[in-house]
């Protein structure tokens, strides 16, 4: 198995339109949640979301392209462009066959689907654009990144709800480790803040109703949590085989050691009470990395701010780490950024990687009244300086799909 390192990060989130801005606001405990401005949400039980503020697709696309591609594709291309620039990776004809793209999404082109369905109902089939299918299908997120960059290696998308981009990173990792590519562009994107998206999650009774206090609505592990907050954005990583990265003089953020995957085989949306599937994902990540539980310093939690999910994850951590669980530093970025669905795993992996590199753990915000069932160290309110050698990042999705990524600090 070849060693795999991270050399580039592209983040476009409700916390900022660049990696530096998103990370700085994450460390500062700034919330990216506010009232929905995309449409009138007065008749919806949930009227808040994590919208991108000031995103200009024209920075990355020509005028015609902006009209042709769903926001989910736009966000993916933007984050991938920024990640490649950060990695200073030039995809030359000589390298192109050995560089691939895997960018996942939980829902994909929801805006395009919603708007086209309305146009079809009102005006008939002639109202449907020839770009409807290419704009709506999820694999176009990876396909168009390849068209823009010339990357001709493995190319597809992963669809596994909230674990999509964590699985995309895992697949990219395995592709490089097996020798099928030298570098991979991996991550996730999501653009779900539409009337249909909000209505669907409201009907599922999954989201917070704290409309009068949007910045306090996402509160993982807090006794008064009442659901997650829907967000949009993209996160993309450049990962490379270590000697390939070193030979071209790349700056290395951290190393990917392993990924553990599992299924709950339990329920459409709810995890088992003991977090059995999450346990298995974490145990596998540790085993494949060759690490003992007590070697882990930090866990970036899935931490959605849902009643069942936060308790199940806490119980899973206790079961896997036993007495070491109380020594772990744990934090939940969703308390600030909201839930990016298919992009959440990659965004949280990026925050984990930056935490490793800089020796600082972002806080869990809004943890005012800890749930007695959630009694671990969630780094409340304020960042913590801590040297981290090994860290896990958890991502769990609807349908009971689980992924845990394991990272190691890079030492020059």
Catalytic (active-site) positions: 162, 302, 339
Tokens (6 digits) for 248? 């071209």
Chain centroid offset of residue 155 CA? 19
Of 199, 202, 173, 195, whose CA–CA distance to 186 is shortest?
173
Tokens (6 digits) for 107? 């829902």
* Matching residue, tokens 């539980």: 293
What are the backbone dihedrals phi and psi of residue 49, each rounded to the nearest 5 degrees, phi first?
-165, 170
Tokens (6 digits) for 181? 């590519």
Tokens (6 digits) for 166? 């964590």
Contacts 24+ apart (CB under 8 A), 246-249: 248/89
Any idea what the Cα angle at residue 159 is, between residues 155 and 161, rounded to 5°? 150
Neighbours of 35 (CB within 10 A): 12
Tokens (6 digits) for 234? 């993209």
Rounded distance, CA 279 to CA 277, Å? Answer: 5
Rounded distance, CA 403 to CA 259, Å? Answer: 7
Of 208, 104, 112, whose CA–CA distance to 162 is shortest?
104
Strand order in the sheet with 254-263: 155-156, 99-104, 183-190, 233-241, 4-12, 254-263, 401-409, 390-397, 298-300, 329-331
Are 253 and 5 in contact by the 8 Å Cβ rule? The answer is yes
List, in sequence order, every residue forming a beta bridge with 166; answer none if it has no partner.
none
155 CB-side CA count, 13 A: 19
Rounded distance, CA 363 to CA 383, Å? Answer: 5
């Amino acid at each position: 198995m070849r060693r795999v390192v991270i050399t580039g990060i592209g983040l476009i989130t409700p916390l900022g339109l660049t990696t530096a801005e998103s990370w700085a606001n994450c460390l500062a405990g700034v919330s990216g949640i506010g009232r929905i401005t995309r449409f009138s949400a007065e008749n919806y039980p949930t009227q808040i979301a994590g919208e991108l503020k000031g995103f200009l697709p024209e920075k990355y696309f020509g005028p015609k392209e902006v009209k042709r591609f769903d926001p989910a594709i736009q966000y993916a291309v933007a984050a991938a462009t920024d990640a490649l620039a950060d990695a200073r990776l030039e995809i030359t004809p000589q390298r192109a066959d050995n560089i691939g793209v895997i960018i996942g999404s939980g829902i994909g082109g929801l805006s395009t689907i919603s708007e086209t369905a309305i146009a079809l109902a009102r005006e008939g089939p002639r109202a449907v654009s020839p770009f409807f299918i290419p704009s709506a299908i999820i694999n176009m997120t990876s396909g168009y990144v390849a068209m823009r960059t010339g990357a001709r290696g493995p190319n597809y998308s992963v669809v596994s709800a909230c674990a999509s981009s964590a699985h995309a990173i895992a697949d990219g990792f395995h592709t490089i480790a097996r020798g099928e590519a030298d570098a991979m562009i991996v991550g996730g994107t999501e653009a779900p803040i539409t009337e249909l998206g909000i209505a669907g999650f409201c009907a599922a009774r999954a989201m917070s109703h704290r409309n009068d206090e949007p910045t306090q609505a996402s509160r993982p592990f807090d006794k008064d949590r009442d659901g997650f907050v829907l967000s949009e954005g993209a996160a993309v990583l450049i990962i490379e085989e270590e000697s390939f990265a070193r030979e071209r003089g790349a700056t290395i953020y951290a190393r990917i050691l392993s990924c553990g995957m599992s299924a709950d085989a339990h329920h459409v949306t709810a995890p088992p009470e003991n977090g059995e599937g999450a346990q298995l994902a974490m145990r596998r990540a540790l085993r494949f990395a060759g690490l003992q539980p007590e070697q882990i310093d930090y866990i970036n939690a899935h931490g959605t701010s849902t009643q069942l999910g936060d308790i199940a994850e806490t119980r899973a951590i206790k079961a896997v780490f036993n007495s070491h669980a109380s020594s772990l530093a744990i934090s939940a970025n969703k308390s600030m950024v909201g839930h990016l669905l298919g992009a959440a795993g990659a965004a949280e992996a990026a925050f984990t990687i930056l935490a490793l590199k800089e020796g600082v753990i972002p806080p869990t915000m809004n943890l005012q009244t800890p749930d007695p069932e959630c009694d671990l160290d969630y780094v409340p309110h304020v960042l913590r300086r801590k040297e981290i050698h090994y860290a896990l990042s958890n991502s769990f999705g609807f349908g009971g799909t689980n992924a845990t990524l394991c990272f190691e600090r890079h030492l020059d």
